[in-house]
Amino acid sequence: MQQMNVDPSDDEAVEKASDNKTATHQDSDSKPAVKKKRKQPTECFLSQPEEKQETTVKAKRRKKKKISDILQKTASKPGVPADLQNLLSQHFGENRSVIEIEELKLSDSCFLPSNDLTHSFSSYLKEICPKWAKLRRNHKEKKSVVMLVICSSALRSLELIKSMTAFKGDCRVLKLFAKHIKIKEQMNMLEKGVFHIGVGTPGRVKALVEQDGLCLNSTKYMILDWNWRDQKLRRMMDIPEIKKETIDLLEMSIIKLCREGSVKLGLF
């Protein structure tokens, strides 16, 4: 038998070819793994900013709804005469002539000292009305009151009536709001009896004046519940309806009486 001569170079070529095949197999096996690793971070990276944008939009929408949070954080400042004077100037400045605006202006002499937020209602009234006992004894006229207290609601009126117990003594107080009380009943009470203090809302007081149920000629003091805030943190002048009715009441006769010196305004 003849022996076949094998060239060692052929063996090396075979080994190299096999090595190349295994290398190509390894590369082909590793390529999909690399692709998977690259896809995962790109997907996570794209999804994260979308979530952040959604959360920021939701947060902005929530903040817009909660306007009362801003008022809650701001420190409350006591009302001063300039606040009411500016309010009247802005209200009348749009539709009135210069002469009419001058006639509706309130000077500083028309005002009583304002509440500096340290007083209870009784202590404030005692400070601004030191001669209340004498005024109460001398008041004999029907269909009128010595003091008018104007606030934003019937519930607030009841709170103020309770809180003035130390001041009012045995004087008679009349509720001047619309809730559960008909205007005819209030007119009958004013016509038949003598009342010293009236506490109520501007809309009902205005209606009583218009229907001659209440005369303001004997009124000496008008107190606005200026600084108190309701559950929504609104003051009486922050409520459009109450603001309009209060300004209408002032324009009807109070401003004229203040300019004449017969009525004084107080901001509680």
State pLDDT tens for residues 225-262: 999 999 999 999 999 999 999 999 999 989 999 999 99
pLDDT range class, residue 6, cuts 50, 70, 90: very low
Residue 172 exposure: Cα atoms within 13 Å on the Cβ side: 16
pLDDT score, position 60: 58
The more confidently predicted of residues 224 and 40 is 224
Query: The sheet that has 221-224: what strands, in order across it?
Result: 173-176, 197-200, 147-150, 221-224, 264-267
pLDDT score, position 14: 46
Q: For residue 142, report the phi and psi dihedrals to the nearest 5 degrees.
A: -85, 170
Q: What is the CA radius of gyration of the chain?
A: 40
Which pTM does this prediction carry?
Answer: 0.72
The rounded distance, in Å, linking the Cα atoms of 24 and 22 is 5
- Residue 32 inside a domain? The answer is no
- Residue 26 inside a domain? The answer is no
- Residue 110 inside a domain? The answer is yes
Say how far residue 187 (Cα) sits from the centre of its chain: 34
The rounded distance, in Å, linking the Cα atoms of 216 and 209 is 8
- Residue 13 inside a domain? The answer is no
- Residue 55 inside a domain? The answer is no
pLDDT range class, residue 179, cuts 50, 70, 90: confident
> How many structural domains is the chain composed of?
1
Nearest to 237 by CA among 84, 32, 129: 84
- Residue 163 inside a domain? The answer is yes
Residue 173 maps to which CATH number? 3.40.50.300
Element (H, E) at 200: strand 197-200
- Domain range for 82 is 76-267
pLDDT range class, residue 65, cuts 50, 70, 90: low
The rounded distance, in Å, linking the Cα atoms of 104 and 264 is 15
**Which long-range contacts does 168-172 make (Cβ < 8 Å, 24+ apart)?**
168/196, 168/197, 169/133, 169/136, 171/136, 171/196, 171/197, 172/196, 172/197
Q: What does pLDDT average to over the chain? A: 82
